[in-house]
Amino acid sequence: MSWIVDNSLTWFQKFCINVLKCGPIPRHVAFIMDGNRRFAKKIHLKRKDGHTRGFDKLAETLQWCLVLGIKEVTVYAFSIENFKRSSDEVDTLMDLAREKYKRLMEEKDKLMAEGVCIRVIGNLELLPEDIRKLIAEAIIMTKDNNKVFFEYCIRLHF
């Protein structure tokens, strides 16, 4: 699934957005990704598919934020604890991140049209080098955009 979901809202979704826009819209919203594995277990999917569905939900959520005019979105997606999972699962998550960052680079036109500035914050040194490179490319490519700021947090220490 794409990072920037095409604007294919239903009549009812458009109605809800117009209602929400009548009130104050927050400037900054933050999300913590959680429950991917529990969701997969509940509907008898493989863990990997639970993580993929989690990413798809994130992309959908970003679309809502764009449409609502939320200026800054922060996603806390990968903690130091997550690196302690089985190497199989960490590899699966890294493969998914690699695939999604590659996809992000292919969606340059959409990102530029929407004015999305990508920021990745945290300590990136445990990530494979090719993913760090993709992240650096995404940050550099979108650095002058200023309509929406999308921050992706990895391995933060609190």
Q: Which residues bind ligand FPP (CB under 6 A)?
A: 33-38, 51, 54-55, 77-78, 82, 93, 96-97, 100-101
* Sequence-distant (≥ 6) Cβ neighbours of residue 6 within 8 angstroms: none
d(CA 113, CA 125): 31
Nearer to ligand FPP, 82 or 145 (CB): 82
**Residue 54 CB, nearest approach to ligand FPP (Å):** 5
For residue 41, the Cα-to-chain-centroid distance in whole angstroms is 22
| Least spacing, CB of residue 112 vs ligand FPP, in Å | 19
Write down the H helix ranges in the chain. Answer: 11-20, 36-42, 47-68, 87-106, 108-114, 129-142
Of 16 and 33, which CB lies nearer to ligand FPP in the complex structure?
A: 33
Query: Quick one: 27 or 84, whose CB is closer to ligand FPP?
Result: 84
